[in-house]
Amino acid sequence: MRLLPAVVTASLTLAVAYYVYIPLPDTIQEPWKLMMLDAVFRTTMHLASLKAWLGFDHYIKSIRSCTEGFEGMMQAALSSESGGGVMPGVKVSDTTFAGIPVTVYEPPAGGEGHLRRGVMYYHGGGWALGSAKKGSYDTINRMLSDELNTVVVSVEYRLYPEVHFPVPYLDCLATAKHFLSPEVLASYAIDPERVAVAGDSAGGNLAAAVAQEISLDDTMSVKFSVQALIYPVLQALDFNTPSYLQNQHIPVLYRTLMVRFWLQYLNADLSLQPQLMVNNHSSEIAPELRARLDWSVLLPPKYKNSYKPLTGGKGAQGLAKEVPGLLDVRASPLLAGAEVLAKSPRSYILTCEHDVLRDDGLMYARRLQDAGVTVTSDHYEDGFHGAISFITWPFEFEIGKRAIRGYINWLKNNL
């Protein structure tokens, strides 16, 4: 009988280890910490799926409530450690720009009397998750405001399932136009020649799309000086790029999850996922459009390896027309023509080696450079998607800290 507790304990330990362990590339630092993080995410998604199946709540809303609770715990721990919050000198206020909720971070009073930098930030989360003022976004925006004497506006654009494309984009565009108005910039003492738009992941998608639209709008007297895109998602026509295949099972953004995010965002039937996974949805697009995301031409040789382009079969004739957002440049900024890209502001694009979106960012950097835009490509060989979101307890990664420092330093030197 005495052996029973030991056997049960050993069995449970093995079961937990089996659940947590996933093979990871050798170049990923702190692998067990990433495995634990992934186990938490997988558990959250499994529970959300179960609740949705039982009819208790929407899948995304369940995930959102869990992640927001977790972010609240991290925020409380951080406030306790820092004696009331990070960068206490930064003034934080909630308001609205063009009717859209935003959080404004203003630097300490010591910077008064001089014009300041301005940054508009769009958070990531697959157009379904995340918040402009919670978790790491709050920490990062406070750091940026304090260190660079910057007014940061973080946008609470509307999310799926409450809305679909193009509503999040239109929310972000409206806030950008409001922010860039001379009157608003003057009210915050912002130099109109030093205003950036930035975002990560889905937020990087929105930042790129908004930057394109603003650059083309001749009614705007002030435009963005620079754009900073952190592992942005930029196209939905090729889910078989080398990075999508190489990193399809690497946390925290699996290939299947990214395809699902796209279908949700574009208000498409989730049953179409198998078609998108084999690129059937892009089998009929025009050669000129395909060339704008032809990774066999746009990627450096080191990232192509032995992968071959997959153009899809004929299993979904007319799917691109059935889901028009697939070809909409407002959803997929990588599809913009060279004449549009040529008007883009000076750009910073951060990519991570172990990220399905790596090639989206690398291709966009190449196309911007080909169009004559000055681009800084900041690539992290040991990076994974979402790294900047993990810079505080309990999932604090050194890669996240380095990536944030690279982003802030670039803005310091270029904005």
Which residues are annotated as catalytic?
Answer: 201, 355, 385
Can you tell me the distance from the alpha carbon of 154 to that of 130, in angstroms, rounded to the nearest whole number?
12
What is the four-CA torsion angle of 167, 171, 177, 181, rounded to 10 degrees?
150
| Paired tokens of 88 | 């206490």
Give how far Cα 102 sits from Cα of 158, 167, 176, 179, 388, Å. Answer: 11, 16, 11, 11, 21
Are the beta carbons of 351 and 380 closer than 8 angstroms?
yes
Return the ∠ at Cα 100 (arms to 196 and 233), rounded to 5°.
50
Q: CB 113: neighbour CB atoms within 10 A?
A: 7
User: What is the DSSP pairing of strand 395-396 with strand 100-106?
Assistant: unpaired
| Paired tokens of 405 | 């420092």
Give the closest residue to 389 by CA, choosing from 70, 102, 44.
70
Q: CB 375: neighbour CB atoms within 10 A?
A: 19
Give the residue carrying structure tokens 């958070």. Answer: 123
Can you tell me the distance from the alpha carbon of 282 to that of 270, in angstroms, rounded to the nearest whole number?
17
Are the beta carbons of 48 and 59 closer than 8 angstroms?
yes
Are the beta carbons of 82 and 142 closer than 8 angstroms?
no
Three-class DSSP category at 119: strand
Question: DSSP states of 368-406 as a string?
Answer: HHHTT--EEEEEEEEEETTGGG-EETTEE-HHHHHHHHH
| Paired tokens of 54 | 């039982």
Maximum Cα–Cα distance for the chain, whole Å?
Answer: 81
Residues present in the chain in total: 415
